[in-house]
Structure 1
Amino acid sequence: MPEKMTKIGTGFSGRQPGLWAAAFALAMCAIAFAEHRGLLGGWRSLPFVAAATLFLFPLTKAANNRQAAAGALSPATRRYNRRMLIWSLGYVLCLGIAMTVRNYLHPQGALLWGIAVLPSVPMIFFVWTLARYVVEEEDEYLRYRQTSAALIGLALVLLAGTLWGFLETFGVAPHVPAWWVVPVWAIGLGLGQMIMTSAERRAGRT
């Protein structure tokens, strides 16, 4: 039985988290490009966004396997990965509901305010997940590693937001919606984790 479980857990879908992350990023970029060209937009984009979100399942599984192989999959890390997956699915669901209601019911007043806020509601769970990991993680190095990666993501948001804000103020760049803050932070988090992993490998060779 253990051999069978190991085989299932380390199959194709349970390996190469970078591959699944790249597939998800490329899918989202393709959707954004299609929206820019007018091929998609509004509710028409939702099935494609939902399909791209499916990449998060093998991504989470592969990340767990990679961390387990490195001896870094603590119970707190496993819970963190699962909660991040729940947050991502909740965000897509709330976004889909909000856009569907807007496009088909054309709400006004309080209902319009409600659906405009709805996609932001999962952010409460997202922030709680980050804070809860710091509380639950008993391994000091793993906590330091995750915190450092999160700070790198924050640095990218601050730099990109400030730079683009001034470019937009001086009229040399188009307006970018503020909800792009979270995707930019997530990219920075991934880069931070890659930087930490690279540093660990260099330290292991010395």
Structure 2
Amino acid sequence: MSADLPRRRYARRTFAFMGAYVAVNAAAVAGAFDDLRRPGAWVLGLAIAAPVAAQIWATLELMRQCDEFVRAVLAKRFIIASGVAMALFSAWGFLESYAQAPHAPGWLIYPLFWAAFGAVTPLVRTSR
């Protein structure tokens, strides 16, 4: 298997999953789902979350298809970014509870994770 093939698959999957994520979110923001009753709103919430889960799967698939070094570096970046995102979001939650900081919706953890992943990527170049 060519080294570029897993990256191309990942890119295609990312564009497909995030395209669905953006499309459903844009429709929701535009009011397409404003008249939903409770069961429909639950389905909408899960429909928006499905591409998030799929993107995480695509990232894990990329890790599985790469060689050991790339897999280890990606895993290290993933773990560090997860820790950074959880620490920041937890800190914000405590600020909400004790310092009356404005509420941050829970779904922000996902873009926060990817922002952290982007920030740590140039800093993590080795699996050590």
Fold shared per TM-score above 0.5: yes
Identity in percent: 22
Q: Which residue of 2 aligns with 1:84?
A: 14
Larger Rg: 1
Alignment of 1:40-51 (within 5 A): none
1:101 equivalenced with 2:101 (yes/no): no
Number of matched residues?
A: 123
How far the C-alpha of 1:132 sits from its partner, in A, is 1.1
Scaled by the length of structure 2, the TM-score of the pair is 0.83
Alignment of 1:143-162 (within 5 A): 143-162=71-90
Unaligned runs of 5+ in 1: 1-72, 200-206
CA distance in structure 1 between the partners assigned to 2:7 and 2:75 by the alignment: 12
How far the C-alpha of 1:95 sits from its partner, in A, is 1.2
CA distance in structure 1 between the partners assigned to 2:4 and 2:124 by the alignment: 17
Whichever structure has more helix as a proportion of its residues is 1
CA RMSD of aligned residues (A): 1.9
Match of 1:189 among 110, 114, 117: 117
Aligned-partner SS, 1:170: helix
Runs ≥4 residues deviating over 4 A = none
- The structure whose RCO (Cα within 8 Å, separation 6+) is larger is 2
CA distance in structure 2 between the partners assigned to 1:86 and 1:116 by the alignment: 18
How far the C-alpha of 1:142 sits from its partner, in A, is 1.1
1:120 equivalenced with 2:49 (yes/no): yes
1:129 equivalenced with 2:26 (yes/no): no
Per-residue CA distance 1:76-99 (angstroms, 9 max, x = gap)? 223222222222111101212334
How far the C-alpha of 1:130 sits from its partner, in A, is 1.9
Scaled by the length of structure 1, the TM-score of the pair is 0.54
Aligned-partner SS, 1:102: coil
CA distance in structure 2 between the partners assigned to 1:172 and 1:194 by the alignment: 35
